Structure 1
């Protein structure tokens, strides 16, 4: 007995001595990559007139002048992205053989500019990312959370893999453009003309476009990785809560679980975290779905009805694969949050009610109404919650469109 008490006391002391790592610090490799690409700055900067979080002290607190430079850098990149979209929009016409490529390029540039604007706005507004970080850390610094066994879980391996994948694909995208621009390939004249319009095809214009293409590649990839990592973090906590609830129901053996009130409160806190981060993600996901689906459909049309040149087909397949993968990854990760949040419903129905009190029955009804009420998950501009059914519907529509195009081509 004394030995067990000493062991438990030692564990408590280790837990007290172990400093809490905020989710913002855990996301540091990805957030640093986004800062390099000019689409993220620290939401706690001095200009926002917000004190550091009362629940934790960040390990890395850069000086105020550095945060101001980072913020100015992000707004400069955003201005360049919108300038590039205006340039591409002006140079879309006339109607010639390069029009499909210019439409694809203009749509992609618009997608990057809108994505960057949404993320920069979310960094500036204190009710978005800053509020999510503070809320999440306050939930998992609460002693009752650790006592229930609902400690914070973070997919560090997925973070490293996602960040490395973003850099690899971004580098590949820029290297492919440099190869097309500086080597005499069959498609090089068309691409040179499309990327330079309405300016002359000079060396400095090409270099300027390659530099912008580097930033646009980061804006295209890293927001999807950011959404995926946050979705996996939230999903892991919901699944962990479901396991704890299932174990407590089995241990109760037909009686009411002792910690159901605390578990319900923790579930409510997780749902609130989803609502907070969805303030930014709903716009980002909505814009990505609309423009990525348009790109996929238009590129698919070009593959079937366009020229049968191997280089043109390779480029179009890359565009199609990128649009489809970005849509699938964001939709699957978002639907995983919805499925995990509602995975507790079966366990709630199996709770025993022997010797249950009126207060306990009220807690059970509140928990049940939360699970069966409004769907919990990420949305697309608040139009609908992203679920697995949405992925199935989207896949069916795209396959129908593809086979209709193929049928018209054969006819």
Structure 2
């Protein structure tokens, strides 16, 4: 059996492979990320039994986690989710009266709502069979389907970004926790206002401060790790489209003006990858939509406070932190999502360069189907199905924010 893979130096053919090739599950490849999210209480293994596709002997020798452990993990996540919504409700009740610290209360309350919504979306995606479980099953089936094995094309799963991405998520989470710790216990001029804003409507007792610090760990994870979750999944999907494009380009060059006979198998892989994008988008569209709405609000409100609010150095520093955090989360989420769209449509130039010498009617139909798939509905992640996330969307969003920022400056000067 010949197996064609993508190497750093190009496309390579490897022979003398066993007839049955064992592939690790994508869940195994994503283990650092998924374990991190489990610790933070925003992810648990899907409720259905694991469906491994020809697992390796090493993996098969390991017993699956017992049912009671999965139940404890799920109960832990739902407990964290309940606490996140309780914390938002507590802060929402104490949002008013209108005084000097109202802007700070608005920022913290909207941020807590954002964290609770993120956790709810991911936990619902873990619970529903048609979301993450369906994606894992579909992705693993790509390596065992008759079309994949018959064609001889095996695309290695590129997951080099999982460990660095998970480490970056923990770093940013710890920075956010440390920043709030300094504000609460650093005896700064603004510390009393922040303590009152975070403990409202209850008295600012030591136990209430500790309770908020513990919850802040989970809230920070629910704010940062959904971005990492989207970014890593997007990089994996982008890598698969790019590998497919390299093989398609190679086969077109080898055909030398004729129709490449491998096009039906390559089209099959492409449609399967597009279906994987559609499945994972069932969850990501809500994460991206909530991210755009709340982080844009956070950035705009923080920008307003920087220009029209207090001139205290510490207050400005905190507003800059919120502004930078909101902008950074939007940029990372949108850029990684737009990369999926660009990679999925990057094969279009190769399709137009396919030779049609001695082409048959059936081959021409395959070519038209391939072309129709890429020129039809845009392939990529969406924001609540309103629009596909592309680089043009990010540019438009940046232009709107800059217009808003300079209008604030103009009114301030006037």
Q: Normalized against structure 1, the TM-score is what? A: 0.93
Mean alpha-carbon deviation: is it higher for 178-187 or for 118-127?
Answer: 178-187
Structure 1 residue 314: Cα displacement: 1.2
Cα separation, 1, equivalents of 2:295 and 2:266: 39
Q: Deviations over 1:355-399 (max 9, x none)?
A: 000100110110111011011000000001111110110010001
Q: 1:259 is matched with which residue? A: 262
Task: Write out aligned runs for 1:8-407 (5 A).
Answer: 11-13=16-18, 16=20, 19-43=22-46, 45=47, 50-53=48-51, 55-57=53-55, 59=59, 61-142=64-145, 145=148, 148-156=152-160, 158-407=161-410
Q: What's the secondary structure of 1:12's corresponding residue?
A: coil
User: Displaced runs of 4+ in structure 1, greater than 4 A?
Assistant: none
CA contact (8 A) 2:22 2:54 kept: no
Structure 1 partner of 2:9? none
User: Given that residues 253 and 352 in structure 1 are in contact (C-alpha distance below 8 angstroms), is that contact kept between their aligned partners in structure 2?
Assistant: yes
Task: Find the residue that maps to 1:80 and give its secondary structure.
Answer: helix
Answer whether contact 1:150 1:241 (CA < 8 A) is retained: no
TM superposition shift of 1:9: 8.9
Asked if structure 1 preserves the Cα contact closer than 8 Å seen for 2:147 and 2:268, the reply is no
* Shift, 1:11, TM fit: 3.3
How much does 1:186 deviate?
Answer: 0.8
Q: CA deviation at 1:403?
A: 0.6
Alignment: residue pair count: 396
What SS is found at the alignment partner of 2:156?
Answer: coil
Once the two structures are superposed, residues 201-234 of structure 1 have per-residue CA deviations (whole angstroms, 9 ceiling, x without a partner) of 0000000000000000000011110110000000
Deviation at 1:184, TM superposition (A): 1.1
| Cα deviation, residue 56, structure 1 | 4.0
CA distance in 1, matches of 2:346, 2:305: 42
Residue 57 of structure 1, CA deviation: 4.3
The answer (yes or no) to whether the contact 1:150–1:240 under 8 Å persists in 2 is no
Q: Determine the C-alpha separation between the residues in 1 that align with 2:230 and 2:127.
A: 18
Q: Which blocks of at least 5 consecutive residues in structure 2 are unaligned? A: 1-12
Contact 1:140 / 1:152 at 8 angstroms: preserved in 2?
no
Normalised to the residue count of structure 2, the TM-score between the two structures is: 0.93
Any idea what SS the aligned residue of 1:199 has? Answer: coil
Quick one: distance in 1 between partners of 2:295 and 2:37? 21
5+ residue gaps, structure 1, are 1-7
How large is the RMSD of aligned CA atoms in angstroms? 1.6
> Displacement of 1:55 after TM fit?
2.3
Q: 2: distance between equivalents of 1:99 and 1:150?
A: 57
Query: What secondary structure does 2:17 align onto?
Result: helix
Q: Deviations over 1:143-184 (max 9, x none)?
A: 75365544132232x211111111111111112212221221
